[in-house]
Amino acid sequence: MEQKLLVEKLVAGGVSLARNDDGKVIFLTGGYPGELIRARRLNTKRDFELWEPVEILKESPFRRRKLCGSFPSCGGCDWQDLEYQEQLKWKKIIVEEQFRRIAKIEVVIPDVVPSREKHYRNKMEYVAFHSSGELNLGLKRKASDRPVQLDGCVLGNVPFEDLRKRFQRLLNEHSVKPYNTKTKTGNLKHVILRKSSRDEIMAILITKKSEFLELRPIEKRIKSEIPQVNSLIHVHNSRDDVNLRGPYRVLYGEPVLTEEIDGILYQIPPTSFFQVNTWIARKILHYVSGVLSERKHSNLLDLFSGVGLFSLYLAESFESVLAVENSAVSVKAFESNARINQLENVRVLKENVASFLKKAHGKYDVVFIDPPRSGVGKPITMITRLKPSILVYISCNPTTLARDISYLMRSGFRIEDIRAFDMFPQTHHLETIVILKHPLSL
């Protein structure tokens, strides 16, 4: 079934919105505002019609040449062939629309802070799969678990695409078998590359089994033939629902990647989270630091602290800092990072954030919360008992952000400022910071 559709706008989730002849909303996997598209339906759901473009009958003036040979089938990018300023414009509109639709409030945010448009990611997770008779290292297709071969990817740091090809060639020469999630055969699941702004590169090989028979000769060749790789890690991950998790061992080099932001050092273990766009992470830190500099604060509570990005950077502005993090690996890294930065006013608890909030008491001047994409939900209202003067909410998902902010506002918090940062160019994703205050805590 095919139909001509006029794209009205871009919406949350990286899809486009159009309407059929009866005025019913239809979502498209591609297409930009103002474009006339011939499309075909992909699903049979009556309440959520998803269509894909077959032919562009009238192009947007903001459509440009794509930046790599794998777009649009590759799921790494959503809007790669849309002019960058238009990407920023629509990200701003989507954030404002999510607050209007979900939180039932009108907000106007400043223009989205732009990033370097290409080669901004300090981490790339390549999935291993079998294609054309050999092992390939690629990314997953849009809205699919099926991988796609890469051709000139522009997301990863400059060396990554060349390193990906060299790893792919070397692994094939040793007849390494990729793991197949359906047949449960093979072993290699992912190859992950991480790079710091100090030009350290860590390569991580993830396997389904703890045994990796081909590893010894592969390790020797990587060390001698790919000298750009400073450390090589083997991770055993038997789970299929997550990529970067499980026990690991260092084959050579350092067991951590060291990042530096304005003189603060962060040692990042192979399986720990860190912001993928260091350049924008620095911009966010500068913004938040500026907000907090307006008055003196005694203590900081940092929820979902990770390895300490915010806690350590801001520690000197507080008498004391308490961080809460549930990952044992990240907690250990946090403690190490506090030591190497000689910060004695910082401590971290290994605990689930929701559990911590249920029993937390006392007053915290400033509370930071940087949850996963799923957000927090109703338990976020427990923060009210801590009487923070300032609450800083950092989110990579405008939908769950708007939901959580609505809960906080019902608890008496008021929005002081909202800023958006383009952490993920060429995609629909971004990072949004909301500054809130509670009148009873001032």
Residue pair 98/399 in contact by the 8 Å Cβ criterion? yes
Percent of the chain at pLDDT > 70 equals: 100
CB 353 within 8 A of CB 376: yes
Model confidence at 332, pLDDT cuts 50, 70, 90, reads very high
User: Hunting for tokens 């506090």 — which residue is that?
Assistant: 338
What structural domains does the chain harbor? 1-63 (2.40.50.140), 103-114+261-441 (3.40.50.150), 123-255 (2.40.50.1070)
Q: Of residues 68, 74, 153, 396, which has the active-site annotation? A: 396
- The reported pLDDT for the residue numbered 442 is 59
Beta strands, E only, 20-174: 25-28, 36-41, 50-58, 123-131, 134-140, 147-148
Tens of pLDDT, residues 39-91: 999 887 778 889 999 999 999 999 999 999 999 999 999 999 999 999 999 99
- The answer to the question of whether 275 is labelled as a binding residue is yes
Determine if residue 259 is labeled as part of a ligand binding site: no
Does the structure show a pLDDT above 90 at 424?
A: yes
Residues forming beta bridges with residue 138, ordered by sequence position: 127
Whether 396 and 430 have beta carbons less than 8 Å apart is answered as yes
- What's residue 441's pLDDT? 66
User: Across the chain, what does the average pLDDT equal?
Assistant: 95
pLDDT digits (tens, 9 = 90+) for 252-290: 999 999 999 999 999 999 999 999 999 999 999 999 999
**Minimal CA–CA distance to 229: which of 270, 262, 260?**
270
Model confidence over 390-422: pLDDT tens digits? 999 999 999 999 999 999 999 999 999 999 999
Give percent above pLDDT 90 in the chain: 91
Task: Give the single-character DSSP code of 383.
Answer: G
- Taking the model in full, what pTM does it have? 0.95
Q: In 3D, which of 348, 413, 350, 408 has the Cα closest to residue 379?
A: 408
A 10 A CB-CB count for 144 gives 10
Cα 437 to chain centroid distance, Å, stands at 27
pLDDT band at 346 (very low <50, low <70, confident <90, very high): very high
Q: What is the pLDDT of residue 150?
A: 97
**What pLDDT was estimated at residue 43?**
85
Flag whether 304 is marked binding. Answer: yes
- As a dihedral over the C-alpha atoms of residue 65, residue 71, residue 73, residue 79, rounded to 10 degrees, the angle is -70
Q: Is 74 a catalytic residue?
A: no
